[in-house]
Amino acid sequence: MLPSLPELLGSARVVALPLVTRFRGLDTREALLLEGPEGWAEFSPFAEYDDAEAATWLRAALDFGWQATPLPLRERIPVNATVPAVTAEEVPGVLARFPGCRTAKVKVADPGQTLADDVARVRMVRRVLGPEGRIRVDANGLWNVDEAEHAIHALNEFDLEYVEQPCATIEELAEIRRRTGYLDVGVAADESVRRAEDPLLVARTGSADILVIKAAPLGGIHAALALIHQTGLPAVVSSALDTSVGISMGAHLAAAIPELNFDCGLGTASLLAADVTTDPLLPVDGGIPVRRVTPDPELLDRYAAADDRRDWWLARLTRCYALLAD
């Protein structure tokens, strides 16, 4: 059963956190935090998402704040560094924010940049990580099949672990897998899972080797675990530029997966210039602990969103709650 709307509105706090580096076109990350009987949870679908999609993120927050989490199978989650679409010269500074991480996810195919920019960025990541480091790239579905094939060949010299969402559609993912299978570069699906009407379709059609799983867009930890079990594919748990509260939900999900064969994308608190806690879930020795996060009241006040943005988020919460209640 859902908690009451007055209960949610009573604990809701909206924050606006500055980013270290522009990411996904954002300089500030807004989030709405809720306190439930199990602890704090985060509701932070990106502003462009409609209410129907955002309501799933609310379901995830309620799952985490109002339901017990599954039994953890590990106490610490190995994480990857995340490299935004920065210049090659900026890469060492970015990687320095992820101490001990031996895997890096590199953003590519950024609008306004070229494949040469991507190659230079990935080359610098390889130089900093050394030959034993693992590199994965994420195109966010922005290449067509021909562009993806060309780019994967150009980047293959850096020994890619996998390429995440090289193309937008499941049909395109299947085609790029067919074209580049001999290169032994895995294809991972992100948007084709979390933004799909049928998140199982990517597995049924053999369109990906790996699932990139975010708990919030899938409706929470329990729903995400069920999806992973049904697909039978290896999973990488990732975040959505969350505060440490949201990252805690991802860590609890990763802790409950029976086989966790890849470093997870849960080190992204390092991309925030501020957080809601004095003890954020930042990578240490390449990993983060599995624990709940309680926001610091002083930080909630310091980074409180402007009144108009707070009201926008509370109205969004109210609309999404109505969709869940129906």
- Dist. CA 98–CA 175, nearest whole Å: 34
- Dist. CA 9–CA 304, nearest whole Å: 15
Contact 152, 166 (CB under 8 A): yes
Q: Is 57 exposed, middle or buried (0-12, 13-18, 19+ CB in 10 A)?
A: buried
Residues annotated as catalytic are 107, 214
Positive or negative, the Cα torsion across 267, 271, 273, 274?
negative
138 annotated among ligand-binding-site residues: yes
Rg value, the chain, Cα: 19
Q: List the 13-23 sheet strands across, edge first.
A: 13-23, 26-36, 39-43
Which ranges constitute the DSSP H helices of 233-306?
A: 244-256, 297-302
Contact 155, 118 (CB under 8 A): yes
* Helix/strand/coil for 106: strand
- Dist. CA 251–CA 256, nearest whole Å: 9
Contact 107, 83 (CB under 8 A): yes
Q: Which two tokens stand for residue 32?
A: 């709405």
Give the contacts of 103 (CB within 8 A, at least 6 positions apart). 78, 79, 80, 81, 133, 134, 135, 136, 161, 262, 263
Contact 269, 281 (CB under 8 A): yes
From the annotation, which residues make up the binding site for Mg(2+)? 138, 164, 190
Can you say which residues are annotated as belonging to the binding site?
Answer: 138, 164, 190
